[in-house]
Copies of this chain bind each other. A is one copy, B any other.
Amino acid sequence: MEIYEGSLDVKMIFGKWLDEQSHSNYGAFIPFVGTIRDEDDIDGLSFDIYEPILQKWFDGWVAKAKTQGAIVKMAHSRGDVAIHTSSYISAVFSPKRRIALELIDEFVEDFKANAPIWKYDLKNGKRIYAQERSTPMIGSGLLG
């Protein structure tokens, strides 16, 4: 798991992961690259991350992928990220394509729902919590 300040250097990260696994004998490699869209007049997005729980969430996925002979990777931005640049990459390497296609889908969806990361719109110099696009984590409401 890799956390970077600001926009991700997508080519560098992609190349690094490829090189790391160049002789691991995985037949399928599927990265998912998330890029900030120019919409709603934003200048970009900004992210808070709570790293200790993100690391545990990620470690759970490493263990889950391992049971299928696969590995997962993840990189995410902290702080401000301009439109048309990337804030998120996750990836699956696996021996066979079917497992890779299924894992990347589950991994990305679970990430959106349960990774402890908070998103803010950057607009007119303000940092506005993206409340309506945010999802309560599993088990929310315990103290409500």
Contact = CB atoms under 8 A, between A and B. Distances in A.
Nearest to A95: B37
B30 A26 contact: no
Interface residues on A, range: 20 to 34
Interface in A18-34: 18, 22-23, 25-34
A84 B18 contact: no
Contacts of A105: 101, 105
A25 to B, nearest CB: 5
A11 interface: yes
12 contacts: A10-B18, A23-B84, A25-B37, A25-B39, A25-B84, A27-B34, A28-B35, A30-B31, A30-B32, A31-B31, A97-B108, A105-B105
**Which 3 pairs between the two chains have the least Cβ-Cβ distance?**
A29-B33, A27-B37, A101-B105
